[in-house]
A and B are shown apart, each in its own frame.
Chain A
């Protein structure tokens, strides 16, 4: 009896993957001249075009992919420098099809340019002085979105570019007036619409051929899922800052649910209602931004626009709101320590928040001011926003903000935060002041260090207590060892001549020690191996991929949400959840015997 039962269970297990993995393909991808295409992306789209899975070809051009999709599916091959090849297939349950794919040649330069990432376009911008003028552009323009993708490189006249830069300032871009004029003039001269020669190399590798990417489209063209986080139940949650929605993706079924945050007595834009906000972006009142989960299962959310902290119970689907209070402005990244205490940065008022869910006690502490002018600006900024709220949609605060003559570096902007797993201390990065800091969770004593690269953004600790910091403005990665207070720096490899990279966030897989980073200027995810000090590049199957945080599943997938602002500029016109499985492609090869 037992043997029979075992046999049935074994057969069912063997059959189940076949039924679940309907549209499965293997074969070779070739360049137009017949040579194998190495590092090409083979993507299978489901019949609705709402989900897709991608694997990468090996040096011999081979690939193998298993997907659960049935019906009429599209299979596309994509490789930088070549025209996409695609075919439609009728996928049937249990089927595995041999399918060879071919890349094409572009018929003209313009067509080739359309396939380049934004980094190829902004590499050509004619800055009067790159070292002097480009940092403000990287810091303030690439902050929210790519510049150089098809949405942002439309040729405009000088006046139109000035208006664009002013529009961005109304949305919190903090370049000085002088910097803004240089940016407008450079974009006007650089984005002329003329086709040009360029080549990009995304660095094919054997590791790349082992990987697999899954994507799920979500929301609409103005959905702004700032962060995505894998919860204890395996669900992938996303905070939609544009629509005040918490999205939830079941990665197994592809089902996406949405939970609307509770109403709050604030105008559109929350505490930022004085800004001139474009329709569809920042139209929420709460502005849910970042997430972390306590051991009781509750998900804690920083609401940037309402300056509140919110809990969401995945079992009851209920939210509860807590005021941060006082002059706290823009609660940002949030993490939970080993005692289930919630810590978060408050960027626009240079503060750190601490909330104990057991006692519901909220503490807000001010961080070092880093100079008299920074103190004054950090202190005044919430006041300016309050004055602005008395005159909705007028952006009057701009007429009084010191950033207009000093630039963004006049603010400190405590941004990313993490907990050191070795000693439980709290660490943060000040994006504009280019500092990292440590808070003793017992005494609340603070110590800060200057970073050797500018723009430390969203750092994380590895299991050994090494602090890994992405240097957004410098296109680098920093390693900081708290034991000896020593930095090491690494320059992130780029994909083309004169290009730069914008590493917004990183996370360290504490099981493998691998550092996963966003490379938002060139539609890539980067992996850094601390042992070999080598970078590996994983091109995104979707153009205009801007990732702002990473989270890991129990089986080692690294997940995020594509959150270019606006989402309408993403290749699909909508954002997506994205998960990269480092060994997923290898598993498909093994399963399909390829």
Chain B
């Protein structure tokens, strides 16, 4: 059995998620809704640190990035949606928060780049099978 060494990017992103989670969690002490993305960020940091549940990690990161981007775009340019603008932005906001909110969104582009097939984070979550 070969033991994969934790890549530097995994360390960096895991610590970033932890710090951002703490920051969002601090805001959550005043507005409790932000405790949810803080907890999600902690969980994501844990998964990344230990290299577990790679598919879930990637899916959550992707959904977070898409929902966060959609939220900003709708807020800035969504008037054409008329009365539905706030419904779309509302759902986007809730989905974003449930997937880590700004704590994950700030590192999501880097994570997704690192999770591409063959990249260090992808190898960390999907280590090569051990040679018999």
- Return the chain B residue nearest A364 by Cβ: B79
Chain B interface main SS type: helix
| CA A444 to CA B29, docked complex, whole Å | 41
Contact yes or no, B79 A383, CB < 8 A: no
Q: Pull 13 A–B residue pairs with CB atoms less than 8 Å apart, ordered by A.
A: A176-B30, A326-B85, A327-B86, A379-B76, A380-B75, A380-B93, A383-B75, A383-B93, A386-B86, A386-B87, A387-B94, A396-B33, A402-B27
Indicate if A163 sits at the interface (CB-CB under 8 A).
no
Number of residues of chain A lying within 8 A (CB) of chain B? 23
| CA A401 to CA B34, docked complex, whole Å | 9
- Return the chain A residue nearest B86 by Cβ: A386
Task: Give the interface centre of B27, B31, B94 by most chain A CB atoms within 10 Å.
Answer: B31
- Return the chain A residue nearest B87 by Cβ: A386
| CA A399 to CA B36, docked complex, whole Å | 11
Task: Give the interface centre of A382, A401, A404 by most chain B CB atoms within 10 Å.
Answer: A404
Contact yes or no, A399 B86, CB < 8 A: no
Cβ contacts under 8 Å, B93 to chain A: 380, 383-384, 387, 400
- Return the chain A residue nearest B101 by Cβ: A400
Q: A380-B93, A387-B90, A387-B93 are in contact. Are A325 and B83 (CB under 8 A)?
A: yes
Contact yes or no, A398 B31, CB < 8 A: yes
Contact yes or no, B94 A178, CB < 8 A: no
| CA A261 to CA B41, docked complex, whole Å | 49
Contact yes or no, A404 B86, CB < 8 A: no
Q: Mark A381-396, 1 if CB is under 8 A from B, else 0.
A: 0111111001000001
Cβ contacts under 8 Å, A327 to chain B: 79, 85-86, 89
The residues in B between 1 and 55 inclusive whose CB is less than 8 angstroms from any CB of A are 27, 29-34
Cβ contacts under 8 Å, A396 to chain B: 33
Contact yes or no, A404 B30, CB < 8 A: yes
Contact yes or no, B31 A400, CB < 8 A: yes
Contact yes or no, B30 A405, CB < 8 A: yes
Distance in angstroms from A274 CB to nearest chain B CB is 11
Cβ contacts under 8 Å, B97 to chain A: 400
The 7 closest A-B pairs by CB, nearest first: A399-B33, A386-B86, A177-B30, A404-B31, A379-B75, A400-B33, A404-B30
Q: A325-B83, A386-B86, A386-B90 are in contact. Are A405 and B75 (CB under 8 A)?
A: no
- Return the chain A residue nearest B31 by Cβ: A404
The residues in A between 402 and 424 inclusive whose CB is less than 8 angstroms from any CB of B are 402, 404-405
Distance in angstroms from B74 CB to nearest chain A CB is 9
Number of residues of chain B lying within 8 A (CB) of chain A? 20
Task: Give the interface centre of B86, B87, B93 by most chain A CB atoms within 10 Å.
Answer: B86
| CA A404 to CA B33, docked complex, whole Å | 11
- Return the chain A residue nearest B33 by Cβ: A399
- Return the chain A residue nearest B32 by Cβ: A399
Distance in angstroms from A23 CB to nearest chain B CB is 56
Contact yes or no, B82 A383, CB < 8 A: no
User: In the complex, given contacts A327-B85, A383-B90, what are 13 additional A-B residue pairs having Cβ atoms less than 8 angstroms apart?
Assistant: A177-B29, A326-B79, A326-B83, A327-B89, A379-B75, A380-B93, A383-B93, A386-B87, A399-B31, A400-B34, A400-B93, A404-B31, A405-B30
Cβ contacts under 8 Å, B75 to chain A: 379-380, 383
Cβ contacts under 8 Å, A383 to chain B: 75, 86, 89-90, 93
| CA A475 to CA B89, docked complex, whole Å | 39
Contact yes or no, A390 B30, CB < 8 A: no
Q: Mark A322-339, 1 if CB is under 8 A from B, else 0.
A: 000111000000000000
| CA A178 to CA B27, docked complex, whole Å | 12
- Return the chain A residue nearest B79 by Cβ: A326
Cβ contacts under 8 Å, B89 to chain A: 327, 380, 383, 386
Distance in angstroms from A24 CB to nearest chain B CB is 59
| CA A400 to CA B98, docked complex, whole Å | 13
Contact yes or no, B31 A402, CB < 8 A: yes
Distance in angstroms from A408 CB to nearest chain B CB is 14
Distance in angstroms from B19 CB to nearest chain A CB is 18
Q: Mark B49-85, 1 if CB is under 8 A from A, else 0.
A: 0000000000000000000000000011001001101
| CA A325 to CA B93, docked complex, whole Å | 21
- Return the chain B residue nearest A399 by Cβ: B33
